Homo-oligomer: A and B are copies of this chain.
C-alpha cells in the first residue's frame, strides 16, 4: 500500500516557450524503454517478487525505497510535459475557427486527440510503454545488474533529452532527475559491490559526462540531493542504509538515509484548455457542496477554494 502526498518533489518553473514538440521529446523520459515508467515498474515488481527477502533485507529495502521514489519521477516528468503543453493551442470553446490547427503538424498528435494536452504513457515516437520493459528475474545479482544498467541507460536518455530541449521547465526537471537517478546508479552499484566485492561505482559516469556539467543538476546537488537516499516510507526501508553509507564516490560527501519523502511543493497549476473541454463542466456550481462540506468538517478547506 501507499499513501499519496499530493505534492511534487520539486518546483517546476513555468515554461518560457511552451512547445508541443518539446513535450513530445520529453515523453521519452516518461514512457520510453529507459523512461521513468520503466524504472518505477521494474523496481516495484522486483520488490513484490523478492523471494527470501528476510535473509537479504537490505537489498529488498534499497530496491523498495527507490521503487517508491520513482513514482515521484513519473509525476515530475508528467507535470513538465503538461506545462510544456499548456497554452500551445488557441483557447476557446468555439470549434469552428479550428483551435487545434497546429496539432496537425505536431510530433505527437495524441497530446491533442487523445489527451487534454497532457502526458500519456507513451514514448517520444508515440509507442506505448509496455510490460515487456520490466525485468524481474528473481535472481538478486541479475536484477541488481539490470538496475545498474537501466539507470545508466536512463541517464543517457536524460542527457540527450536535456540537449534537445532548452526550456527551463524541462531542464529543471531533468537536472533533478539526473541527480536522483545518479544516486540510484550508485545505490545499485554499491549493492552489487556488497555481494561481489567489485567496485562497480567506478564504471560511472555512464555516459562519460559528469552531472557537474548540468547547471540545473548542480543546484540540486548543492542541497545534498545526490547523497540523501529517502526511504519514501513512514516506517520501512531504513535497512537500505546498510548499503547506502560511506562517502559519495564523486565528492566524498557523506551518504545518508532519510526517513520519509523529499520535502515537496504543491503541484503546479494546470490551466484549463476549453477547446479540449479540459475539464469542461463550465456551468458546474461548486456551491452545491457547501452544506456537505460543513457536515464533513471540511468547510474551511472548501471555503478557501470556493469562497
Contact = CB atoms under 8 A, between A and B. Distances in A.
Given A45-B121, A264-B1, A202 B196 contact: yes
A286 interface: yes
A126 interface: yes
Nearest to A238: B298
Nearest to A160: B113
Interface string A193-218: 01111111011001111000111000
Contacts of A9: 1
B98 A232 contact: no
A160 to B, nearest CB: 5
A114 B137 contact: yes
Given A49-B82, A98-B163, A100-B160, A145 B139 contact: no
A225 interface: no
A122 interface: yes
Interface in A101-151: 101, 103-105, 107-110, 112-122, 124-132, 134-142, 145-146, 148-149
Contacts of A157: 113-114
Contacts of A145: 148-149, 152, 203, 206
Contacts of A203: 141, 145, 192, 196, 198, 200
A281 B4 contact: no
A95 interface: yes
B138 A48 contact: no
A237 B19 CA distance: 32
Contacts of A236: 4-6
Contacts of A24: 104, 109
Nearest to A96: B215
A104 B21 contact: yes
Contacts of A272: 51-52, 55
B134 A121 contact: yes
A271 B121 CA distance: 34
A166 B281 contact: no
Contacts of A213: 94-96
A159 interface: yes
A282 interface: yes
Given A4-B2, A79-B48, A242-B292, A160 B284 contact: no
B264 A139 contact: no
Contacts of A54: 269, 305
Nearest to A33: B132
B71 A118 contact: no
A124 B122 CA distance: 14
B163 A95 contact: yes
Given A24-B109, A109-B124, A122-B131, 18 more contacts: A1-B4, A5-B234, A45-B121, A48-B118, A51-B270, A52-B279, A104-B164, A114-B137, A115-B138, A120-B134, A121-B131, A132-B132, A139-B207, A139-B208, A163-B275, A198-B199, A200-B203, A208-B281
